[in-house]
Amino acid sequence: MAPSLEDDWVPPRAAVSTGELPSGADIETALAEAYEHCGPITDGNVADYIPALAAVDPSSFGIAVASSRGGLWTAGDAYSEFSIQSISKPFVFALVCEAIGHDAARRKLGVNATGLAFNSVMAIELNDQRTMNPMVNAGAIAATSLIPGVDADEQWSNIVAGLSSFAGRPLTMDEEVYRSEAATNLRNQGIAHLLDGYGFLYADPDESTDVYTKQCSLRVSSVDLAVMGATLADGGVNPRTGQQVVTAVTAKRTLAVLATAGLYETSGDWLFDIGLPGKSGVSGGIVTVSPGKGGLGVWSPPLDSAGNSVRGQLVTRYLSDALGLNLFASVPLN
């Protein structure tokens, strides 16, 4: 861990980067272009290690952009629902930061990339910071175990309430996906027990794995993802409902972890191409956040070998460039 300043240290002067999305008409045009340009791409394979995910229509394709000012633009199947899967991880991590503070969350969960697959057991064995970060399954199950609640039921209720506030509407669970994953998630149970053995799990391992599996089965649409992303882009305030869901500090820390580890072991490639914090999930969704400006939600089920939506990455890349979102882009001053 890098040497850290005191938890409550505030610099004498603090600034926040600002900026606006292009006009609504320009966003609409860029979305239509992105949809048309990426529509014909059929590369990748639908996830099948969770049996219920294999049944999805691979041609499903939705895109949504939500601005920090409350605007919303969509294309294709933007309101179709799918299970959130790993995209739940940053939002649960944000809730944990709210509950225990971001420094404690960093100590207990870690914030560095593993360079290994999302469900790697080797990453736990190789690193003294066993959980590594809250975007891989080890850190994510540990994050779930840190959610406040007297028992697993209350932790689950708090997760549903928190993620629903991010989305600005009540989210519900996909029972079929939950049952399908719960019947086949021996590996995640193993990870939870291994972490428990190392003292890096903070509640009962079987119950924590079960709550984690439920959280992955929450149903969202591309529009929900865009609004959830826009909430992280807007200092933790949901721009559609006006609710302060988490603090601005929590939003900032969550985005930092996404930049490091949001796209599994190809997070570096993602940042190189797209230049924004994002998180993908095995059902084919990707949420991307443009700090201060807004959120993008994309859904297209076929995945690359790392588990990221093929078309989702290309659409996001297109929109990052077309809308001027890349955090690292600048023009010379002459």
Residue with tokens 């826009």: 230
User: What x-and-dash track marks residues 54-93 binding ligand GLU by CB under 6 A?
Assistant: -------------------------------xx-------
78/87 with CB nearer ligand GLU: 87
Q: Which of 61, 73, 82, 118 binds ligand GLU (CB under 6 A)?
A: 118
- For ligand GLU, the binding residues in 235-294 under the rule CB under 6 A are 281-282
Residues 199-238 close enough to bind ligand GLU by CB under 6 A? 216
The β-bridge partners of 289 are 295
Task: Check binding of 181 to ligand GLU (CB under 6 A).
Answer: yes
Between residues 86 and 250, which has the closer beta carbon with respect to ligand GLU?
86
Q: What whole-number distance in Å separates Cα of residue 331 and Cα of residue 334?
A: 9
As beta bridge partners, residue 244 has: 237
**Residue type for position 213:** T
Q: Which CB sits closer to ligand GLU, 88 or 165?
A: 88
Nearest approach in angstroms of CB 99 to ligand GLU is 22
Instruction: Name, in order, each residue with C-beta under 8 angstroms of 62's C-beta and a sequence gap of 6 or more.
Output: 74, 75, 76, 77, 78, 79, 80, 221, 222, 223, 297, 298, 299, 300
- Quick check: is 89 catalytic? yes
**What DSSP string describes 187-215?**
HHHHHHHHHHHTT---S-HHHHHHHHHHH
CA 251 to the chain's CA centroid: 12
Look up 282 and say whether it is catalytic. Answer: yes
Quote the tokens at residue 107.
Answer: 């100590």
Closer Cβ to ligand GLU, 229 or 239, answer by number:
229
Residues lying near ligand GLU in the complex (CB under 6 A): 85-86, 118-119, 137, 181, 188, 216, 281-282, 307
- The catalytic residue positions are 86, 89, 212, 264, 282
